[in-house]
Structure 1
Amino acid sequence: MRPHKKMNQQISTAASKKGAITRSKNAANTSKSEGKESELPKRKAEGSPPNDKTLKRSAFGDITNARESNITSQDVKKLSKKIIVKKADPKGNEKANMKVTVTVPNKSTAIQPVLKTHTTLKKFPVSTKPKVVRQKNEEVSTKSGTSQVLEKEIKEDISVISEQQEINLSSKDNSGNSSFQNDGSNSHDEPQMLEFPILEQAPSPKASICKSSTTARLPEGVEDFDKETLNDPFQVSLYAMDIFNYLKEREVLFIVKNYMVRQPSISQWMRSLLVDWMVEVQESFELNHETLYLAVKLVDLYLDKIVVGKETLQLIGAAAMFIASKFDERIPPLVEDFLYICDGAYTHSELIKMETNLLKVVDFNLGIPLSYRFLRRYARCAKLSLSTLTLARYILESSLLEYSFVSESSSKMAAAALLLALKTKLLGGWTPTLQYYSGYKLEDIGHLAHQLNAMLHKKPKTALTTVRNKYSHKIFFEVAKIPLLENLDL
């Protein structure tokens, strides 16, 4: 089957057969219903709980030990170990009996309770030197220096065999009782104090923000977006800057070269038809935009390494959409859905085999930096309106059809699309905030903005109208109908 001739007919025929509803058809049905709510069937994952029941559980349980522990003096028991060691006198006297006592704090020892907040421990060496207590009947020579020599030999040669005393203080268990474990015996002898770790209260996590966002000095005129959204857990403000810097570093791993010179059976026009069909599939199945961008990137990475024929081009696109759906969607479409949308041109085994081959080519590495994610990050940091962001999305999604942009960096393409959207809506140019968060200066993305503007001025082709029709809808603020700039002045 030739995808460049029958591709658009297949998607329309399959959508009409299976009853797929696009946003445009859904809006038309809504207007006809005159205020009546339309119920659309929604797929549900197998094994999901019924709608009338709500299951609540903690994902990881209580994994913190930062609890308040009411430890009293009664919970602390004295620990002692008495060992009788015999050491012969150097001059042949009777054996001297030595009593070694190792104890822990008694009831009067104050133990600090565990703090509620996170704590850090200062490690101090615990004194393990045994206390030597001589009995009254111990005979020691009174000659000068004899007692000192004896003490020195005892310190050096005596081998005190004692079990290591462990004190385990734990928080309250599930029954509410504090546990204290020891393996020693009580003693009324004078105890030797052991040094316990000193607990210090650690600073709150919100007080320590990543160096890249707040501790670093921001340029003049740059607003600290991550600091303003620190209390919003969905912004991940503590790590957002580091995450996107890491994604920019990974872009070098997914560079696509000019592979058309090594593909004798396909052309740039056929690739544009394939991407246009993939946009239609994304709309029909109501998939995320990240799924579309990832699938297109997978197609380019596969074509960059494997020579294919034109009869398998649509199969590659279907397999890429299938993989991207399973990677990004909560409920991805089934294999039968993709086979149906291809109008039965391929079998179940062919799609699964292509999926396996594609994953092997990319080495199962699906964490690819996407231009769509960079664009959303830049627009949020600059606090742009949703209509301006949608215009930039339209420009960026239109660039997916153009083969000339496959070798460009994803982050740079996102910055250029946003710059062109700002100029088109007369909202100014490249601000210091955008330059700081994107890492690109105006001269770095100026040439791409001119190329994108020239792309939009091209006469639309009848076979490639899916993106334009998609963004001409009211849901997308009809940004495709906004007048274009004749001359882009940067």
Structure 2
Amino acid sequence: MDRSGANAVGAMSSMSSQGVPMEGVKFSTETGDTNRRALRDIKNLMGAPIYPCAVSKRGLSDKATVDCKNQGVILGHRPMTRKYAATLANKAKICHQEPTENNERQKRSATSAQISNAFNASNAAYDEDHQSGDEFPLPMMEEMVSTELKEIEMEDLEEDTAVPDIDSFDSKNPLAVVDYVEDIYNFYRKDENSGCVSPNYMANQFDINEKMRAILIDWLIEVHYKFELMDETLFLTVNIIDRFLARQNVVRKKLQLVGVTAMLLACKYEEVTVPVVEDLILISDRAYTRKEVLEMERLIVNTLQFKMSVPTPYVFMRRFLKAAQSDKKLELLSYFIVELCLVEYDMLKFRPSLLAAAAVYTAQCAIKGYKHWDRSCEMHTRYSEDQLLECSKIMVEFHKKAGQGRLTGVHRKYSTFKFGYTAKLDPALFLLGTNNI
């Protein structure tokens, strides 16, 4: 069957679908009418998207982009992705060399001007830029690509200086409060000075001295171990004692009463099961009565203005050990070292966060046998190795002499199986030398 003649342009019969002649209907039969729009151009093909306007708002393919530009069609909006920007940059020279039809562009511009009123101001301005010239605004596009490349470089730089994430594996643990942990420790750092005392407050005491304080703390460490209390209770107990003694003169015979009462207050704040007053009286060999304990409790809380919650070295120890990716051995040695510092009055000159960081650093050096302070530890503790060396050297001295003298409560505690015989580990003596290892 010959289909060429039936389908030829101008060969259409002037008949309706029922075979009735259609008078007065004029068909384009002139071969010179070449401006007739093809079906594919008016988007009436099956599956083609239909828009209420003549200009598509979606981005076109690369081939369609070149075709439409040659025909003078205004390009729709396509997201300026990095891949798309790179494609336009590679084809910029080709687009520049291809001719355009000025008459057809002017016709299309009139239609586009009416449609652009429906767009917002930014899109309208974008359309006008593309209509005004015979080629794409390559300088603007190149500037955009250059800006995006700079942003990528800045992102890489920020990633290099970012704090290592140590909380990702706790994201599903509600007790780890991953969403708030950084805010919590930022607050601790701002508030830790409120829990510090003057390193020479004993000069204002007339009946007690630094050695008596050391004896009291050493004894309380044994009481804390006997009662199997939480670690934070011990640190808060010592903090309450120092803050109270810094504001209130105490006679020698009442110093032990201050100690047991401070532990009672710390237990009420930290423990689930609080030791009863009678237990504390019994542990102090019945040197005080229940009434005296309660009166001292009232005096302490009023002197401290009921401010019991302060950042102690313990809260920083938990965070810094996590940053160091510690195991049980490193954890026990770090606590052994920092508890030795609780007994020493001279260590009050260091901030709680510095004490905790120096304890972790000293323990790492003792276990590894060389100086070790990685980027994660430095970023999370906010202390460099040089800032820790002074405090760390003092800790090494305490570690070396822990089993000597009369105050050996911490050494005996960490010489047990429960604490992994940690006190028997060798100290990092090389930190005391002048040569860096």
TM range (shorter): 0.5 to 0.7
Instruction: Trace 1:34-73 onto structure 2 (pairs within 5 A).
Output: none
Whether 1:392 and 2:334 are equivalent positions in the alignment is: yes
- Relative to total residues, which structure has the larger strand share, 1 or 2? 1
Instruction: Deviation per CA, 1:324-376: give whole Å up to 9, x if none.
Output: 00000001000111111111101111100111111111111111101112111
Aligned-pair identity (%): 32
Whether 1:425 and 2:425 are equivalent positions in the alignment is: no
Q: Which residue of the partner structure matches residue 383 of structure 2?
A: 440
Instruction: Deviation per CA, 1:438-465: give whole Å up to 9, x if none.
Output: 1111222211001111222236445311
Task: Give the distance between the partners of 1:283 and 1:217, measured in 2 at CA.
Answer: 46
Whether 1:322 and 2:259 are equivalent positions in the alignment is: no
Whether 1:411 and 2:349 are equivalent positions in the alignment is: no
Amino acid at match of 1:293: F
Is the contact between residue 261 and residue 293 of structure 2 (CA under 8 Å) also seen in structure 1?
yes
Q: Which residue of the partner structure matches residue 240 of structure 1?
A: 181
Task: Give the distance between the partners of 1:282 and 1:351, measured in 2 at CA.
Answer: 18
Q: Which residue of the partner structure matches residue 417 of structure 2?
A: 474
Q: Are residues 426 and 306 of structure 1, via their aligned partners in 2, closer, same or farther at CA, if it must alter by over 3 Å?
A: same
Is the contact between residue 300 and residue 406 of structure 1 (CA under 8 Å) also seen in structure 2?
no
Q: Which residue of the partner structure matches residue 204 of structure 2?
A: 262
Whether 1:297 and 2:239 are equivalent positions in the alignment is: yes
Q: Which residue of the partner structure matches residue 86 of structure 2?
A: none
Is the contact between residue 402 and residue 411 of structure 2 (CA under 8 Å) also seen in structure 1?
no
Is the contact between residue 417 and residue 449 of structure 1 (CA under 8 Å) also seen in structure 2?
yes
Aligned partner of residue 425 in structure 1, secondary structure = helix
Task: Give the distance between the partners of 2:302 and 2:168, measured in 1 at CA.
Answer: 41
What is the Cα deviation at residue 222 of structure 1? 5.2
- TM-score normalised per structure 2: 0.61
Is the contact between residue 195 and residue 312 of structure 2 (CA under 8 Å) also seen in structure 1?
no
Does 458-467 or 448-457 show the bigger shift? 458-467
Instruction: Deviation per CA, 1:193-246: give whole Å up to 9, x if none.
Output: xxxxxxxxxxxxxxxxxxxxxxx9454585311233211222111111110110
Q: Which residue of the partner structure matches residue 164 of structure 1?
A: none
Task: Give the distance between the partners of 2:196 and 2:172, measured in 1 at CA.
Answer: 37
Aligned partner of residue 179 in structure 2, secondary structure = coil
Aligned partner of residue 406 in structure 1, secondary structure = helix
Whether 1:252 and 2:193 are equivalent positions in the alignment is: yes
Could you tell me which of 271, 282, 285 is aligned with 2:224? 282
Is the contact between residue 280 and residue 466 of structure 1 (CA under 8 Å) also seen in structure 2?
yes
Amino acid at match of 1:433: S
Task: Give the distance between the partners of 1:413 and 1:367, measured in 2 at CA.
Answer: 18
Instruction: Deviation per CA, 1:109-143: give whole Å up to 9, x if none.
Output: xxxxxxxxxxxxxxxxxxxxxxxxxxxxxxxxxxx
What is the Cα deviation at residue 261 of structure 1? 1.0
Task: Give the distance between the partners of 2:366 and 2:413, measured in 1 at CA.
Answer: 19
Is the contact between residue 291 and residue 324 of structure 1 (CA under 8 Å) also seen in structure 2?
yes
Instruction: Deviation per CA, 1:405-427: give whole Å up to 9, x if none.
Output: 12321011000000000000117
Is the contact between residue 294 and residue 370 of structure 1 (CA under 8 Å) also seen in structure 2?
yes
What is the root-mean-square deviation in Å for CA atoms of aligned residues? 2.1
Aligned partner of residue 293 in structure 1, secondary structure = helix
Does 437-446 or 309-318 show the bigger shift? 437-446
Task: Give the distance between the partners of 1:237 and 1:381, measured in 2 at CA.
Answer: 14
Q: Which residue of the partner structure matches residue 379 of structure 1?
A: 321
Instruction: Deviation per CA, 1:86-119: give whole Å up to 9, x if none.
Output: xxxxxxxxxxxxxxxxxxxxxxxxxxxxxxxxxx
Q: Are residues 378 and 219 of structure 1, via their aligned partners in 2, closer, same or farther at CA, if it must alter by over 3 Å?
A: farther
Task: Give the distance between the partners of 1:302 and 1:401, measured in 2 at CA.
Answer: 16
Is the contact between residue 218 and residue 407 of structure 2 (CA under 8 Å) also seen in structure 1?
yes
Task: Give the distance between the partners of 1:219 and 1:350, measured in 2 at CA.
Answer: 59
Is the contact between residue 163 and residue 380 of structure 2 (CA under 8 Å) also seen in structure 1?
no
Q: Which residue of the partner structure matches residue 486 of structure 1?
A: 429
Instruction: Trace 1:127-142 onto structure 2 (pairs within 5 A).
Output: none
What is the Cα deviation at residue 264 of structure 1? 2.0
Is the contact between residue 400 and residue 427 of structure 2 (CA under 8 Å) also seen in structure 1?
yes
Task: Give the distance between the partners of 1:467 and 1:333, measured in 2 at CA.
Answer: 22
Aligned partner of residue 394 in structure 1, secondary structure = helix
Q: Are residues 318 and 459 of structure 1, via their aligned partners in 2, closer, same or farther at CA, if it must alter by over 3 Å?
A: closer
Is the contact between residue 321 and residue 331 of structure 2 (CA under 8 Å) also seen in structure 1?
yes
Q: Are residues 474 and 380 of structure 1, via their aligned partners in 2, closer, same or farther at CA, if it must alter by over 3 Å?
A: same
Does 459-468 or 243-252 show the bigger shift? 459-468
Q: Are residues 219 and 243 of structure 1, via their aligned partners in 2, closer, same or farther at CA, if it must alter by over 3 Å?
A: farther
- Structure 2 spans left out of the alignment, 5+ residues: 1-156
Is the contact between residue 318 and residue 338 of structure 1 (CA under 8 Å) also seen in structure 2?
yes
Aligned partner of residue 373 in structure 2, secondary structure = coil
Aligned partner of residue 264 in structure 2, secondary structure = helix
Task: Give the distance between the partners of 2:415 and 2:217, measured in 1 at CA.
Answer: 18
Instruction: Deviation per CA, 1:60-92: give whole Å up to 9, x if none.
Output: xxxxxxxxxxxxxxxxxxxxxxxxxxxxxxxxx
Amino acid at match of 1:306: Q
Q: Which residue of the partner structure matches residue 453 of structure 1?
A: 396
Amino acid at match of 1:383: Q
Point out which structure has higher relative CO (alpha carbons under 8 A, 6+ apart).
1
Task: Give the distance between the partners of 1:382 and 1:421, measured in 2 at CA.
Answer: 11
Task: Give the distance between the partners of 1:222 and 1:461, measured in 2 at CA.
Answer: 41
Structure 1 or 2, whichever has the larger Rg, is 2
Q: Which residue of the partner structure matches residue 401 of structure 1?
A: 343
Task: Give the distance between the partners of 2:274 and 2:350, measured in 1 at CA.
Answer: 29
Q: Which residue of the partner structure matches residue 313 of structure 1?
A: 255
Task: Give the distance between the partners of 1:398 and 1:349, measured in 2 at CA.
Answer: 33
Amino acid at match of 1:242: D
Task: Give the distance between the partners of 1:404 and 1:376, measured in 2 at CA.
Answer: 23
Is the contact between residue 254 and residue 368 of structure 1 (CA under 8 Å) also seen in structure 2?
yes
Is the contact between residue 251 and residue 369 of structure 1 (CA under 8 Å) also seen in structure 2?
yes
